[in-house]
Amino acid sequence: MKLPLWRTIAGFSVLGSLVAVLLALAPAYVSNTSFTRTLGEIAQSPQAKAADDNGVRDLVMAQAKTSALPVNFSDIKVSRSGGKVGIQLKYAVHINIAGLYRVDLHFHPQTK
């Protein structure tokens, strides 16, 4: 059975749109994954263990700036338990997809 040409075109258009959205959103998710891994390294570093909470926030802000992430100093929460440093924060990335649709991706990375 042969599909009509318009159905084939419509099917490929839908698939193409899904791929375009995936390609637009993927960099934000990759950056968040990398940043979360870096947060773990910061939390385990001797500098973070020796620094006060604001010093740890400064370390996180420096890395966020390097990664070009929109992190606010006040959104970084630092906790200490048993000599370990915990870091939690939240930030949102604004993405325009082809100038037609705007989406805000909210991320909440934290160390474990």
CB 35 within 8 A of CB 62: no
Q: How far apart are CA 109 and CA 112, in angstroms?
A: 10
Instruction: Give the model's pLDDT for residue 99.
Output: 83
21-46: average pLDDT? 95
pLDDT at 60: 96
| pLDDT at residue 112, rounded to an integer | 75
Q: How does strand 91-97 pair with strand 84-88?
A: unpaired
pLDDT at 3 over 80: no
Whether residue 103 contacts residue 97, with contact meaning beta carbons closer than 8 Å, is answered with yes
- φ, ψ of residue 15 to 5 degrees: the values are -60, -40
Strands 91-97, 101-107: pairing is antiparallel
Alpha helices in 5-112 (DSSP H): 5-44, 46-50, 53-66
Does the pTM of the predicted model rise above 0.95? no
Residue 38 confidence class, pLDDT cut points 50, 70, 90: very high
Indicate the pLDDT class of residue 46, thresholds 50, 70 and 90: very high
User: Residue 31 pLDDT > 80, yes or no?
Assistant: yes
**Which residues are CB-neighbours of 93 under 8 A, at least 6 positions away?**
28, 31, 32, 69, 70, 104, 105, 107
Q: How confident is the model at residue 93 (pLDDT cuts 50, 70, 90)?
A: very high
